[in-house]
């Protein structure tokens, strides 16, 4: 194709309803931040201008999904929307049995309680906060078997979520296959910066685990975004559709937990999917205790309908290209400005390297938490800490975990903001970056026991 024929990506939709956002004054933000204990999770959304806290449940639904809400069948049992959802999951993901849950962590709770015994080890390609906690609460110990490159923010490896087969096999040999109930494979890896796993690596993990009779449970929260990177970067996949790649990924695993609030384009929802009959039976037994009947599991009928439609939309090429394209746009802009970010740019957000931006702070002074607070103060843009605070404490020693990656995540909701919003975000981050030496560290004044990043409060040192 000649240069003159180049076409940029653009949003494959137009806007028919708008939600005004409020632009606040610096004094208001200072007050709001103090009241929130310098934790962006504790801000009121009314005080936020551009909300890049998370891409979870914050996406804009399509007119088709909204129409689906009107088709909600709120029968207690056997809602037609459940069967639509079941059909969509079987068609697009290929898993046999599904158990709906109110969101991803509920599915993690159920699978962890069923499969993990006290003293077991659960390998995974880096941890996720809720996933690891549910493994621990079930008596398991999470073991990180991701490739070393994933812990290096500057390494440009195209598939930083790949599993290190030696680390995995060493663990199996050391602990014994019967102490490893499953391997947890995430597509994409959130805590590594939204990085994908390659199909080649997943196939190798499959072959290795099959040798030892260990199943794979797939954290498929961002599977469509992972599939986009496979199509874009991996040899032999450019001619396949996103839908075909997604299905191939799922076919290499035995079951999945899904937070439908991410790729599947709904504001609430999730599910557990498994192929094994016996496992399904156990999960169906548990869901009625913790979530609701097995044909709604904590979701309204209308939400299951919106999810069934969202799953279909999530694997459309034009959608996913624009979604990832917008994140790349923001990332490339920040790279051009010289701001240290995790490379390559991930699928759902841009991760700022807080250690590099605030070299005058030690990790105990919570650089990423401090940086997120400073960005909010500058512009009303809300980001999230993904560093020492999110990483929590060691379950045995009680000491802080010290992750190598100390990051602020600028997470882009799907189909919500425009390129002009991304420009404003980049300008604010650039301004904060240039005055970064003036940013003070923070210390805890309140720290809850579980998932402390959500509710902790801080003060300026």
Ligand X SMILES: *Cc1c(COP(=O)(O)O)cnc(C)c1O
Note the residues at the interface with ligand X (CB under 6 A): 56, 103-105, 128, 130-131, 186, 190, 219, 221, 259, 261-262, 270
Q: Residue 128 catalytic?
A: yes
Shortest distance, position 437 Cβ to ligand X, whole Å: 33
Nearer to ligand X, 56 or 363 (CB): 56
Tokens of 179: 């102490």
Spatial distance between the Cα atoms of 132 and 121, rounded to a whole number of angstroms: 11
Shortest distance, position 29 Cβ to ligand X, whole Å: 27
Residue in the block written with tokens 């906060």: 129
Contact 300, 135 (CB under 8 A): no
Among the listed residues 24, 54, 101, 129, the single catalytic one is: 129
111-145 exposure pattern, b = at least 16 Cβ within 10 A, e = fewer: bbbbbbeeebbbbbbbbbbbbbbbbbebebbbbbb
Tokens of 295: 């044909």
Cis peptide before 289 (omega within 30 of 0): no
Tokens of 395: 């379950």
Contact 122, 135 (CB under 8 A): yes
Shortest distance, position 299 Cβ to ligand X, whole Å: 12
Q: How far is CA 283 from the centre of its chain?
A: 23
Among the listed residues 105, 261, 343, 386, the single catalytic one is: 386
Strand partners, 144: 124
Classify strands 121-124 and 141-144 as parallel, antiparallel or unpaired: parallel
Nearer to ligand X, 226 or 370 (CB): 226
Nearer to ligand X, 270 or 380 (CB): 270
Spatial distance between the Cα atoms of 187 and 90, rounded to a whole number of angstroms: 18
Q: What is the DSSP string of 145-184?
A: -B-GGGG-TT---TTTT-B-HHHHHHHHHHH-GGG---EE
Nearer to ligand X, 102 or 333 (CB): 102
Q: Residue 219 catalytic?
A: yes
Using only C-alpha atoms, what is the Rg of the chain? Answer: 21
Closest residue to ligand X using C-beta atoms: 104
Among the listed residues 219, 254, 303, 353, the single catalytic one is: 219
Among the listed residues 329, 376, 453, 458, the single catalytic one is: 453
Nearer to ligand X, 42 or 451 (CB): 451
Nearer to ligand X, 105 or 452 (CB): 105
Shortest distance, position 105 Cβ to ligand X, whole Å: 3
Shortest distance, position 134 Cβ to ligand X, whole Å: 9
Q: Residue 386 catalytic?
A: yes
Cis peptide before 154 (omega within 30 of 0): no
Nearer to ligand X, 261 or 343 (CB): 261
Does residue 107 sit in helix, strand or coil?
helix
**228 CB contacts (<8 Å, ≥6 apart)?**
242, 320, 321, 324, 347
Q: Which residues are catalytic?
A: 76, 128-129, 219, 262, 386, 453
């Amino acid at each position: 194709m000649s240069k003159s024929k180049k076409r940029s990506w653009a949003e494959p939709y137009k806007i028919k309803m708008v939600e005004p956002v409020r632009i606040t004054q610096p004094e208001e933000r200072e007050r709001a931040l103090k009241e929130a204990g310098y934790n962006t999770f504790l801000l009121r959304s009314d005080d936020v201008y551009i909300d890049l806290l998370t891409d979870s449940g914050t996406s804009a639904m399509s007119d088709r999904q909204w129409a689906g809400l009107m088709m909600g069948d709120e029968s207690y049992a056997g809602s037609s929307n459940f069967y639509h959802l079941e059909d969509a999951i079987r068609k697009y993901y290929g898993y046999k049995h599904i158990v709906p849950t109110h969101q991803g962590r509920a599915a993690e709770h159920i699978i962890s309680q069923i499969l993990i015994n006290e003293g077991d080890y659960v390998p995974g390609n880096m941890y996720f906060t809720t996933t690891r906690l549910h493994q621990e609460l079930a008596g398991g110990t999470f073991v990180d078997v991701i490739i070393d490159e994933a812990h290096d923010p500057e390494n440009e490896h195209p598939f930083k979520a790949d599993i290190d087969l030696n680390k995995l096999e060493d663990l199996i040999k050391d602990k014994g296959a019967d102490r490893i109930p499953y391997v947890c494979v995430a597509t994409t890896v959130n805590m590594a910066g939204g990085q994908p796993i390659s199909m080649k690596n997943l196939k190798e993990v499959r072959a290795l685990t099959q040798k030892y009779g260990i199943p794979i449970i797939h954290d498929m929260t961002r599977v469509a975004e992972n599939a986009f990177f496979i199509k874009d970067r991996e040899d032999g996949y450019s001619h396949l559709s996103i839908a075909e790649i997604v299905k191939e990924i799922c076919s290499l695993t035995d079951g999945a937990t899904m937070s439908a609030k991410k790729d599947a384009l709904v504001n609430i929802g999730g599910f557990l999917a498994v192929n094994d009959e016996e496992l399904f039976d156990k999960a169906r037994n548990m869901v009625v205790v913790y979530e609701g009947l097995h044909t709604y599991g904590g979701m309204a009928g209308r939400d299951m309908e919106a999810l069934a439609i969202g799953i279909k939309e999530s694997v459309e090429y034009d959608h996913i290209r624009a979604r990832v394209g917008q994140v790349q746009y923001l990332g490339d802009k920040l790279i051009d400005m010289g701001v240290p970010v995790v490379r390559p740019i991930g699928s759902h957000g841009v991760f700022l390297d807080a250690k590099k931006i605030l070299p005058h702070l030690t990790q105990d002074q919570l650089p990423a938490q401090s940086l997120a607070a400073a960005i909010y103060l500058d512009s009303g843009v809300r980001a999230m800490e993904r560093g020492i605070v999110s990483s929590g404490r060691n379950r045995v020693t009680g000491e802080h975990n010290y992750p190598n990656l100390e990051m602020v995540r600028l997470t882009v909701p799907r189909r919500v903001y425009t390129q002009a919003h991304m420009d404003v975000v980049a300008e604010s981050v650039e301004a904060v970056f240039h005055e970064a030496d003036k940013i003070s560290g923070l210390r805890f004044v309140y720290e809850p026991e579980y998932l402390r990043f959500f509710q902790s409060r801080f003060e300026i040192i």
